[in-house]
């Protein structure tokens, strides 16, 4: 409820500021009213010690003055534009919940070599109806809201320190630019910088934002542009920033970032190590694979979330350097020697071709003797290498008592001798598209084998007695285009004459 009341009051004050600003633009000949400590310093020059006004430059000079807000007026109140020049150390102190340190209906410029401290204000430190610019001076504000502007906020130089206790450190309707100097701002409840329209732009100087309660350090409806200077953020840094060259980056928390800062890239087992600016496109190259090791992929240090490799499984790839140091490692897998037998799940394979040159394996069998249906895959993965399965080994399923169905993958070219011999319950076999050879006795003794489907048009060789004693009513289905040739090829391979070969 308290926050809603504050918002209503703020809207009312903005209305007053805008109306007053319009009035004094129409009444251009009349001097603006400027109140300090509730006293009209235009009508009564010198009424507030340490405060003077120069009409020619519309400049209010504060010389080591202490200002206390009154019930009717902010510490400083101006209807129209105002320039404030600081000399020495001045202070504005509030008394009530609705106090405002400085309220200006037009543009406000603060400059000079002095310091202005605004504290104990119950509402705003500075409330401006149009733009505000701070140059050279030091401004230190502690208030529910630090600076509010319906225009644009600019810091050209000097030092600005803001502690916002309930709202934003800076609330700018049409953008916020820091060209130099230093801004250190914190907020206890809301986003530290709130920009309803327009962009945040940093071209020089330094900005440090420290929101509490995991709110955002900067909320901007437009872009967050970092073209120069340096920035350090904490809290919920969820927005990406844009550099001058158009590159977008994600910033982490707790460190200083500058577009000119170079970050370290360390590459293990490859090339590309060095220093790079955030936004640079970096090329990394893995050390060449050898007969003993094969490149697998790039591994990113798990804490470096801003790295996005274009292709992490290519030996040479690129990425955009984030605003942080990066460590990358080229990972390799051991090359398994030829004729090595490996177990993958319940299946055994023998390495035929080495991973580096020709990753191929032979299917040697299944350790689960009770398995009824077997599918021999097109390929298998072993230690991050994909191997084609091109052969069913000799005796792979010989004398298996439970096997009833076999599907042979499309990369298999050879079914070796006695691969399925005496599988008495085997009733159905499907061979893939690349089979060129069926070895001797490959299906001999499979007395219940009734259906054989051959998808391959490349079959050249069938060994002796390959189909001896299969079921007498078996049907061998072959491609239509190979019917004549395969009837000749299958002739006298051990099967009964009642076995049919058809398309």
Work out the pLDDT band at 118, boundaries 50, 70, 90. Answer: very high
| CA 175 – CA 151 distance, rounded (Å) | 7
Average of pLDDT values for 185-212? 92
pLDDT of 355 reads 73
| CA 242 – CA 178 distance, rounded (Å) | 15
Work out the pLDDT band at 302, boundaries 50, 70, 90. Answer: low
DSSP per-residue codes, 217-286: SEEESS-EEE-SSEEEE-S---SEEE-TTS-EEE--SSSEE-TT-EEEEEEESEE--EEEETT-EEEEEE
pLDDT of 133 reads 97
If DSSP codes are grouped into helix, strand and coil, which group holds residue 196?
A: coil
Average of pLDDT values for 461-468? 96
Check pLDDT > 90 for residue 385. no
CA dihedral 474, 479, 483, 489 (to 10 degrees): -70
Rounded to the nearest angstrom, the gap between the alpha carbon of residue 376 and the centroid of all alpha carbons in its chain is 40
Work out the pLDDT band at 378, boundaries 50, 70, 90. Answer: very high
Contact predicate 462/486, CB 8 Å: no
pLDDT of 4 reads 40
pLDDT of 95 reads 74
Residues 323-363: tens digit of each pLDDT:
888 999 999 988 788 899 999 999 999 999 877 778 999 99
Residues 442-459: tens digit of each pLDDT:
999 999 999 999 999 999
Average of pLDDT values for 85-111? 90
Six-digit token pair at 243? 């550099």
Arithmetic mean of pLDDT over the chain: 89
Residues 227-281: tens digit of each pLDDT:
999 999 988 877 788 888 887 877 778 888 888 888 999 999 999 999 999 889 9
CA dihedral 12, 16, 18, 23 (to 10 degrees): 160
Q: Which helix (H) or strand (E) holds 46?
A: none
CATH superfamily of 344-502: Ribonuclease Inhibitor (3.80.10.10)
Q: Given the DSSP bridges, would you call strands 428-431 and 405-408 parallel, antiparallel or unpaired?
A: parallel
Work out the pLDDT band at 71, boundaries 50, 70, 90. Answer: low
pLDDT of 248 reads 81
Q: Which helix (H) or strand (E) holds 132?
A: strand 132-134
| CA 70 – CA 412 distance, rounded (Å) | 93
pLDDT of 6 reads 43
Residues 72-82: tens digit of each pLDDT:
788 999 999 99
Count of other CB atoms within 10 angstroms of residue 437: 18
Nearest to 35 by CA among 23, 27, 47, 17: 47
Count of other CB atoms within 10 angstroms of residue 64: 14
| CA 334 – CA 199 distance, rounded (Å) | 53
Contact predicate 351/337, CB 8 Å: yes
Work out the pLDDT band at 294, boundaries 50, 70, 90. Answer: confident
Work out the pLDDT band at 397, boundaries 50, 70, 90. Answer: very high
Phi, psi of 193 (to 5 degrees): -110, 130
Rounded to the nearest angstrom, the gap between the alpha carbon of residue 195 and the centroid of all alpha carbons in its chain is 24
Average of pLDDT values for 168-186? 95
Check pLDDT > 80 for residue 101. yes
Please report, for the chain, the start and end positions of each structural domain, with discontinuous segments joined by +.
Answer: 2-257, 262-334, 344-502
DSSP per-residue codes, 91-129: EEE--STT-EEEEESS-EEEEESSEEEEES-SSEEEEES
DSSP per-residue codes, 228-242: SSEEEE-S---SEEE
pLDDT of 431 reads 97
Tally of CA atoms within 13 A in the half-sphere of 248 that contains its CB: 6
Six-digit token pair at 482? 């190979």
Residues 28-69: tens digit of each pLDDT:
334 568 999 889 999 889 899 999 999 999 999 999 999 987
Question: How much is the pTM?
Answer: 0.60
Helices and strands in the chain: count of H runs, count of E runs: 2, 50
Alpha-carbon distances of 400 from 366, 371, 426, rounded to whole Å: 10, 10, 9
């Amino acid at each position: 409820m308290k926050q809603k009341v504050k918002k209503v009051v703020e809207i009312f004050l903005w209305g007053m500021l805008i109306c007053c600003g319009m009035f004094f633009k129409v009444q251009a000949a009349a001097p603006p009213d400027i109140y300090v400590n509730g006293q009209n310093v235009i009508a009564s020059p010198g009424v507030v010690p340490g405060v003077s006004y120069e009409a020619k430059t519309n400049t209010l000079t504060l010389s080591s003055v202490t200002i206390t807000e009154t019930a009717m007026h902010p510490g400083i109140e101006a209807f129209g534009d105002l320039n404030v020049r600081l000399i020495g150390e001045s202070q504005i102190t509030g008394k009530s919940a609705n106090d405002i340190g400085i309220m200006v209906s037009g543009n406000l410029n603060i400059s000079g070599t002095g310091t202005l401290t605004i504290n104990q204000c119950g509402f705003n430190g500075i409330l401006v109806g149009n733009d505000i610019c701070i140059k050279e001076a030091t401004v230190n504000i502690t208030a529910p809201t630090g600076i509010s502007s319906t225009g644009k906020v600019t810091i050209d130089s000097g030092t600005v320190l803001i502690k916002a206790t309930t709202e934003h450190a800076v609330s700018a309707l049409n953008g916020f630019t820091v060209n130099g100097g230093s801004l250190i701002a914190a907020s206890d409840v809301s986003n530290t910088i709130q920009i309803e329209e327009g962009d945040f732009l940093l071209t020089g100087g330094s900005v440090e934002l420290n929101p509490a309660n995991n709110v955002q350090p900067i909320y901007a409806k437009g872009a967050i542009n970092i073209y120069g200077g340096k920035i350090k953020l904490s809290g919920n840094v969820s927005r990406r920033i844009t550099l001058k060259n158009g590159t977008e980056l994600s910033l982490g928390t707790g460190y200083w970032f500058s577009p000119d800062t170079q970050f370290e890239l360390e590459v293990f087992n490859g090339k590309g190590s060095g220093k790079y600016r955030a936004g640079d496109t970096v090329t990394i190259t893995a050390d060449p694979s050898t007969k003993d090791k094969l490149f697998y992929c790039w591994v990113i240090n798990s804490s470096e979330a801003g790295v996005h490799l274009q292709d992490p499984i290519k030996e040479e790839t690129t990425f955009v350097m984030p605003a942080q140091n990066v460590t990358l490692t080229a990972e390799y897998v051991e090359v398994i020697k030829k004729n090595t037998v490996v177990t993958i799940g319940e299946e055994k394979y023998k390495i035929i071709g080495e991973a580096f040159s020709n990753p191929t394996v032979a299917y040697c069998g299944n350790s689960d003797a009770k398995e009824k249906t077997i599918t021999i895959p097109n390929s298998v993965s072993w230690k991050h290498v994909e191997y084609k399965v091109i052969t069913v080994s000799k005796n792979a399923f010989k004398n298996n008592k439970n096997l009833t169905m076999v599907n042979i993958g499309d990369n298999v070219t050879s079914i070796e001798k006695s691969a399925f011999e005496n599988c008495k319950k085997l009733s159905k076999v499907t061979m893939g598209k690349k089979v060129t050879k069926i070895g001797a006795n490959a299906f001999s003794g499979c007395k219940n084998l009734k259906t054989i489907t051959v998808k391959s048009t490349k079959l050249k060789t069938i060994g002796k007695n390959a189909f001896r004693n299969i079921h007498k009513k078996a049907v061998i289905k072959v491609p239509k285009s190979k019917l004549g040739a395969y009837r000749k090829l299958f002739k006298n391979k051990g099967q009964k004459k009642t076995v049919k070969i058809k398309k």
